[in-house]
Every structure is written in C-alpha cells, then in structure tokens.
C-alpha cells in the first residue's frame, strides 16, 4: 500500500499511528507529497489534491483520514480502533478532536496564505473561537486515560493537541491548560505517537 503524506500533516499522522496500531506499518510505502504545489503524482491518484491518500493493494485511492482509518481498522490486526462496547463515546470524542484538528489546520493555512488578517475574517474568528471552546472543554473534562491499545479518540485527541502545540502555541499556553499539557506529554511517550512526531 502507498500512503501519500507529509510529515507536518495532522491528518496524515493519524493514519500513520493507526497503521502502526493495526500492525500494517510495514506494508505501507510512504510517499512524500506537496498538495500546495499541484503535486502531479498526488493529482494522478486523487482529484481532491489533499493528503493523506491511501492506495490499497487493489489500487483504490482513499482520501480523508477517518475513512482511511476505518479501512485500516478493517484490514489490520489487533483490537478495534472503535470498540463496539464504547462506540458512541469513542466517536463522540473523536468528533471533538477531529474538529479541533480541522479548525487549527485552517487557522494555520489561512495565516500562511492571507497573513494574520485571516484571523479577523468571519471564518477565522469562528475557528479561533472553536479552538478555545474545545481546549477548555477538554481541559475541564480531561481526555480519557491512555490505554495499552489506543482507540481512535485518544489518537485523534493526541494528534490534534500536539498539532496546536506545534503550530499555534500561543493558543495553548501551559498555564491555561495544565491538565491537557500533562496528558499530552504522557501521550507523546506512546511508541506510535513518539515514532510519528511532527518534523
Ligand atoms: N478532511 C481531510 C483533510 C485533509 C487536509 O486538509 N490535508 C491538508 C494537508 S494537512 C491538505 O492536503 N491541504 C491541501 C488543500 O486543502 O488543498 C482529512 O481528514 O484527511
């Protein structure tokens, strides 16, 4: 299988952690891609021109990190990423984390292409407010404790928080979110998260 990615994409990192969790990492060839420069190899496999994209053994090209995660969960080994007994709670937490990841990514990319004034647009304001709301909710609820086998909620929560810390540290001060920083520091020790750090 091929995985089109770059090493700073939170969406691609989720997929890499999932592949490791599901015992599939050695079946993955990582293909570095640059969606922002009209990468022809990426465009040849998927019209969306975004990463990550997974090419399956039968040649299907799957975009969207959570869909790729769903596929890897089905074909890989080991415990389910979304255990049936806790499916609703795991998916609910995943949706919060995924929303944080998307909002943070759009703030970063808005600033990159439009400058800091991107933050003052209606969408910029909505995203910043959403990031603050999610961080506060996670801080007061505390993310689920880390288990031996990561589930989709802990993977997406750890990746989303680390992405905010990596790209938008001013929004995620340690003094404002002490519990979350503590949780994230611990999560980063998990071998698969440690192996996929942003670079
Ligand atoms: N919803 C997508 C988001 C993927 C995404 O936005 N990827 C970024 C890189 S981190 C990208 O390729 N952006 C290019 C673009 O938006 O045109 C997913 O979950 O995979």
Q: Which residues pair with 31 in a beta bridge?
A: 4
Mean local confidence (pLDDT), 143-163: 90
Q: What is the CATH number of the domain that holds 111?
A: 1.20.1050.10
Query: Which of 75, 110, 139 is where one domain is finished?
Result: 75
The distance in angstroms from the start CA to the end CA of the chain is 23
Look at residue 137 and tell me if it is in a domain. yes
Q: CB of 131 within 8 A of CB of 107?
A: yes
Ligand 1: centre distance to CA 50 (Å): 5
Q: How many residues does the chain have?
A: 199
Is residue 40 located within the same domain as residue 113?
no
Is residue 143 located within the same domain as residue 88?
yes
The residue segments making up the domain with residue 71 are 2-75
Ligand 1: centre distance to CA 138 (Å): 24
Is residue 47 located within the same domain as residue 124?
no
- Ligand 1 lining (C-beta closer than 6 Å): 9, 11, 35, 49-52, 64-66, 105
Mean local confidence (pLDDT), 81-105: 97
Number of Cβ within 10 Å of residue 78's Cβ equals 11
The pLDDT score that the predictor gives to residue 144 is: 77
Q: What is the pLDDT of residues 2-50, one digit of tens each?
A: 999 999 999 999 999 999 999 999 999 999 999 999 999 999 999 999 9
Q: What is the pLDDT of residues 166-180, one digit of tens each?
A: 999 999 999 999 999
Is residue 94 located within the same domain as residue 186?
yes
Ligand 1: centre distance to CA 184 (Å): 23
């Amino acid at each position: 299988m091929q995985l089109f990615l770059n090493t700073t994409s939170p969406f691609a990192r989720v997929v890499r952690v999932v592949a490791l969790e599901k015992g599939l990492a050695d079946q993955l060839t990582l293909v570095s891609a640059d969606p922002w420069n009209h990468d022809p190899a990426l465009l040849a496999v998927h019209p969306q021109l975004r990463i990550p994209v997974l090419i399956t053994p039968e040649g299907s090209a799957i975009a969207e990190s959570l869909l790729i995660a769903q596929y890897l969960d089905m074909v890989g080994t080991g415990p389910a990423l979304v255990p049936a007994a806790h499916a609703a709670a795991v998916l609910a937490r995943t949706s919060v984390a995924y929303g944080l990841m998307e909002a943070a990514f759009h703030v970063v990319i808005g600033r990159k292409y439009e400058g800091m004034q991107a933050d003052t647009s209606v969408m910029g304001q909505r995203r910043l407010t959403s990031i603050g709301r999610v961080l506060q909710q996670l801080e007061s609820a505390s993310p689920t404790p880390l288990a031996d086998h990561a589930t989709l909620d802990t993977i997406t929560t750890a990746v989303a928080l680390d992405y905010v810390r990596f790209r938008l540290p001013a929004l995620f001060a340690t003094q404002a979110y002490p519990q979350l920083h503590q949780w994230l520091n611990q999560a980063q020790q998990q071998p698969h998260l440690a192996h996929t750090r942003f670079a």
